[in-house]
Structure 1
Amino acid sequence: MNKSFFLNAPLTINITLSYRCNFNCIHCYSREEDFKNELTFKQLKTVIDILASWKVPFLNIGGGEPLIYPHLFEFVSYATSKGIQCSMNTNGYLLDREVAKKIKQTGFKSIGVSIDSPEEEKHDLFRNKKGSFKKALAALENLYLENVKTTVSMVISKLNFNNFQDLIPILRQYKVAQLFLHNYKCSGLGYKNMEQYDLTPEEWKDFYSRALQLKKITKDIIISFDDPILHLLPEYEDTPLVKGSTCGKLSLNIKSNGDITPCGFMPVILGNIIKDDITKIWKDSPILNILRNPIPQGKCISCGVFENCLGGCKARTYMLTGEFHKPDPHCWKKGGDIE
């Protein structure tokens, strides 16, 4: 295995405590997950003990909707007591002032709120929940009043790629620290609805060009991406910690039943954190070895940025092609030189 980048442990573990949710988002990767066989709170404390002994510094809690999980604050308090910094992704619907106070008291590092359009009607459509836009903004206000660091996540789709930049002045009102512009994930309901909401490769190229311009002129809010195909654009100047996808290199995902996957969007089970040795999985998993050492195929063979892109998002490629090494279907390169 090529260990030039190899870390002894992930920097971040993404964990789902429960897939239960009060929304039914049209792009959700986890809506069809099984709600049964979730780890008990006692088992989740064991998970924290394992991660703490492994010296994992960051734990991000997703879902489902984490605020529905009854032991959320106990779980985070325990993780924090073990030296693990916790963040959380939420739709914000249940995040009133009292919950914001509890978040502050519990010691979360940051809270991410999902907002998928600067337009109320389109956000509510994407989230399949009337009133969800107003609730998300109220959540940001409550967190701001409690001096909790906030970030916002936007999943780019046909609904927002033309006016995503209009979200910036809204975020400024609540002193949001960072905006994550996520590529459309082709997993779960996202796969079922991709024909309606995913962009074409040329639209992705246009979006990323405009997003990089926005990043360049926006000084008070950090704008971040999670898509390796950005390396195709000469104006992309970031230097990520690792090349290509971060899953299996900087992070791993733990499902609510303890199953370990490279990321939440890739339904490839590597083992189970309760039943298996996660450190051995991290070191010796054949799947992680494939993800860490991609082999160029098709147009990637002659691509001048493959050594940085490494074939793009592996979750998206796997979900759409059934293989890891094929070119990312979102890639706008036609073959030969970079277009």
Structure 2
Amino acid sequence: MSSIRFDEKDNYIERLEKKIFSQGRPVSGQIDVTYQCNLKCQHCFIKQEEYKKELEFDEITRIINDIKKAGCLWLCLSGGEPFLRKDFLDIYTYARKRGFLISIFTNGTLITPRIADCLAEFPPYSIEITLNGLTKKVYEEVTQIKGSFIRVMRAIEMIKERGLPLVLKSNGMKINRDEILKITKFSEELLGKKRFRCDLVLYPGIDGSKKPCSLRLTPDEILNIQYSDNEMLSLCREQFLHHKENARLKEGYLFPCGLTSFHIDPYGEMRLCSFIKEEYADLKEEEFLKGFIRLYSKLTSLKAKKNTKCRDCKIDYLCRQCPGRALVENGDMESPVEFYCELAHKQEEMKEEVVKKVL
């Protein structure tokens, strides 16, 4: 199977996605093959649980087969750090041969020439390496591991040399605030446009920990970075000009749209929202599609019980609020998260200026 490049997603794939979704099937999903990691990133939202037994290779391949039967198109393999698993290349190769469009999320520091050569032989759709600093000082302040900066830069070089579909990405936080735009420029010079992704908002841990939120940029800092980069600015402009009102929210449903993706943790528990811990399917016991349909039906039928300001909000299309994030930040799925609310309103205040500036 030939590799489809990151920047070549065309109308055919979009039509295929719509067809899959119209049949009530998942379009995309992520399998975290381990929660173990060789770095200790300060903003990490995953809690390593050494005492829990992770899925064996045979269990993962069985689940992959079930996902394929369900018609899923996109599959992300992630962690933790996926390359810590000695059988990760076997897992990846198996999934690749099953015909998925695969993305690998990695910190890159464990990539060796042998691993890079294997990926070059069977290229994924994309390899996404997190680069949270462009200097040793900042990068290693984030990762808290000495020597990690030179390893990630070597990995980027190896992947680039082999012509693999590399994407760099960053998380904006107080530590690297002054390097985000430099990373953006570095990525564009190295890889070209549309090969960098940056999320300027940090979220709580999936275990409910608020620690990552202590490193958040302020709304003003986020907007200052966002509107200082032409590519980010262009995305903001598109959001302003082409948003659609979400009828489901106005009708009182908690989830604003159909859930088209899933997340499977290293222990075989599948969720449609990683933050809603109690709603899951144990794929060691339940068949994948049956579990997906059960969770989908339950979550998409949930209706609001509170009459919050979110119900009548005119700028909900700008807001990061969702039931799962509200649950871990406020303790319930409906109460507005004030940080997201403030950020959305400050974005809306700049709408006219942003549209004119890009034009």
Q: 2:208 and 2:182 mapped to 1: Cα distance?
A: 24
Per the normalisation by structure 2, the TM-score is 0.76
Structure-2 change in CA distance of 1:84 and 1:299 (3 Å): same
Residue pairs, 1:149-228, within 5 angstroms:
149-175=165-191, 177-182=194-199, 183-187=201-205, 191-194=209-212, 196-199=214-217, 203-208=218-223, 210-216=225-231
Counterpart position of 1:227: none
Q: 2:276 and 2:282 mapped to 1: Cα distance?
A: 15
Structure-2 change in CA distance of 1:125 and 1:298 (3 Å): same
Question: 3-state DSSP class of the match of 1:191?
Answer: coil
Residue 264 of structure 2 is aligned with which of 250, 254, 257? 254
Could you tell me whether the CA contact under 8 Å between 2:63 and 2:288 is conserved in 1?
Answer: no
Per-residue CA deviations over 1:256-281 (Å, capped at 9, x if unaligned) read 11101224455344111231133233
Residue 102 of structure 1 is aligned with which of 118, 122, 132? 118
RMSD over aligned CA atoms reads 3.4
Q: 2:103 and 2:344 mapped to 1: Cα distance?
A: 40
Counterpart position of 2:321: 312
The residue type equivalent to 1:99 in the other structure is: I
The residue type equivalent to 1:66 in the other structure is: P
Which ranges of structure 1 fall in alignment gaps of 5 or more residues? 225-229
Could you tell me whether the CA contact under 8 Å between 1:314 and 1:328 is conserved in 2?
Answer: no
The structure carrying a bigger helix percent of its residues is: 2
Structure-2 change in CA distance of 1:121 and 1:16 (3 Å): same
Could you tell me whether the CA contact under 8 Å between 2:28 and 2:261 is conserved in 1?
Answer: yes
Counterpart position of 1:9: 25
1:209 positional shift: 5.5
Could you tell me whether the CA contact under 8 Å between 1:17 and 1:63 is conserved in 2?
Answer: yes
Which ranges of structure 2 fall in alignment gaps of 5 or more residues? 1-20, 250-254, 350-359
Counterpart position of 1:270: 280
1:6 positional shift: 6.0
**% identity of equivalent residues:** 19
Structure-2 change in CA distance of 1:157 and 1:310 (3 Å): closer
1:283 positional shift: 2.8
Per-residue CA deviations over 1:237-290 (Å, capped at 9, x if unaligned) read 4659x9998997131100111101224455344111231133233333265225
Structure-2 change in CA distance of 1:130 and 1:238 (3 Å): farther
Question: 3-state DSSP class of the match of 2:103?
Answer: strand
The residue type equivalent to 1:179 in the other structure is: F
Counterpart position of 2:52: 36
Could you tell me whether the CA contact under 8 Å between 2:319 and 2:343 is conserved in 1?
Answer: no
Question: 3-state DSSP class of the match of 1:86?
Answer: strand
Q: Bigger shift: 174-183 or 53-62?
A: 174-183
Q: 1:83 and 1:172 mapped to 2: Cα distance?
A: 30
